[in-house]
Chains A and B, each alone.
Chain A
């Protein structure tokens, strides 16, 4: 079956797009769609020292998307769960899941539609192939947003991020900043009322006609932690010690994909086993956040500083950012030592911003963007240090 389709594409459709065909202008668009379905034909044919196999960028990207699926599915269910929890209605597992799916899927569709639209336009203008980078960004963008965000804002942010974050620098592989985080930062600063507060995180929360059960608060744990200097409690008024498990499993309000550290860890495992993401960045990032958490514990000037260091790892977007965004191979540091420094500083700065600046409870986003900018500098000094070290060694041998 798939062979027949492939033959049909190769023999009937493809010639239209080849040199001399009437649709040659749109070859990039065609090529993008074809290699989406089939492994590209240009693999190594037995000769040559550089092996070019079927794992091209598109398949790498698909792997990352697959790694995000647990977080996506959990996010769908949690959206419904938070909704029914807030309204106090009775619900079954499937009710919650379908309610959430209906809320989340439009975001995914809009994000992909807007982003790929821009990519296709630029590919055709610049006459290059449609790069696959957006496959991952398109999934990351909805997962790092609150569920109630209006669709047109998602589209605006996606277009902004793809053009300003990526295309102006030369397209996929040339971007300085992580595209998904650029979109999130755009929304965060452009429409703050839709990116924070206690309503946007819950399905139907911005709809004023939905009645809420008394005492339910939809604020994220981070927002509550910064607001209530008197104590660090979760939605039900339970002290943080008890909420570690629910934060780890993800039964808390938050951006769609980031609540469940467990689901993110499944994704992380996929990325690490396939070797796509750098364990150095993830490991040092967690270390950095933990060290910063411990330092704050020692200081302990306010209740937020006394939050146990391990708690910082499971609340907010830390896990999600660390696993899926900090490890973005384009915007991260490239050298091995650089990756340790880069990851460590993301964790360290992320928790620092989170605790110090109540206006920006989601410090991880800003920390990653900041370190994205710093990554080339880190690499520069790592490479310089390496050159110096080797120079010294040769000098020592020569002398």
Chain B
């Protein structure tokens, strides 16, 4: 079925501009209206686990970005060759290969961060966002929109991760990206780092607060009941 759609598209429609409004939406929707974490509630596990420090969150977001772009592109290119009965396993193999690549690069060039992220880089394979985008988008779209979709979703995932990490690192250890931000004078005055921020429940609560703010600003997200 996708093949017929493909052929008609090639024959009749004029070439779509690279950044048509549709394509722009692929980039911008996941940032807010269709955010993978706050709206679809996917990828929560890693959002809770690696948001203690901004550095980890940034590296994790970049890793997911790389894996997602690669996987979306490859799956999109192969979409007409993959038999639909074995598509999940094919997707898994592609994602796993990319994740191992990323993992090796991290180990080679950012050894200590890679140690801190430990198992969570490997767990990108099971990140629902990636599988979700492959299934829902890359399998049915051309490479360029798939690429944009990957960038958009990885960015949507990344900004939530980094926002949560900023809150947690700032209040939990008084630092941002490893540098002390809260001046020593505060500590002399009786300020203390909030130990709860280091614990995973606070990540959940922070994500919850982001969802709360997002929904009260963006009223079309509110479900009717």
Contact = CB atoms under 8 A, between A and B. Distances in A.
B212 A186 contact: no
Given A168-B212, A189-B199, A194 B192 contact: yes
A194 B195 CA distance: 11
B195 A192 contact: yes
Contacts of B208: 168
Interface residues of A, number: 12
A124 to B, nearest CB: 15
B205 interface: yes
Contact of A186 (B190, B192, B196): B196
Q: Report the interface size class on chain B.
A: 10 to 19
Interface string B118-133: 0000000000000000
B116 interface: no
Interface in B26-74: none
Contacts of A152: 190-191
Contacts, number: 21
B117 interface: no
A164 interface: yes
A173 interface: no
A193 B192 CA distance: 10
A45 B110 CA distance: 76
A150 interface: yes
A190 B212 contact: no
A194 B194 CA distance: 11
A191 interface: yes
Contact of B192 (A164, A168, A189, A191): A191
A153 interface: yes
B197 interface: yes
Interface in B53-99: none
B192 A153 contact: yes
A190 B198 CA distance: 9
A191 B194 CA distance: 6
Contacts of B205: 164
Contact of A190 (B190, B191, B197): B197
A186 B194 CA distance: 9
Interface in A112-166: 150, 152-153, 164
A11 B32 CA distance: 50
Interface in A179-209: 186, 189-194
Interface string B154-188: 00000000000000000000000000000000000
Nearest to A191: B192
Given A189-B196, A190-B195, A192-B195, 17 more contacts: A150-B190, A152-B190, A152-B191, A153-B192, A164-B205, A168-B208, A168-B212, A186-B196, A189-B195, A189-B199, A190-B194, A190-B196, A190-B197, A191-B192, A191-B194, A191-B195, A193-B192
21 contacts: A150-B190, A152-B190, A152-B191, A153-B192, A164-B205, A168-B208, A168-B212, A186-B196, A189-B195, A189-B196, A189-B199, A190-B194, A190-B195, A190-B196, A190-B197, A191-B192, A191-B194, A191-B195, A192-B195, A193-B192, A194-B192
The 5 A-B pairs of least Cβ separation, nearest first, read A190-B196, A189-B196, A190-B194, A190-B195, A191-B192
Interface of B: 190-192, 194-197, 199, 205, 208, 212
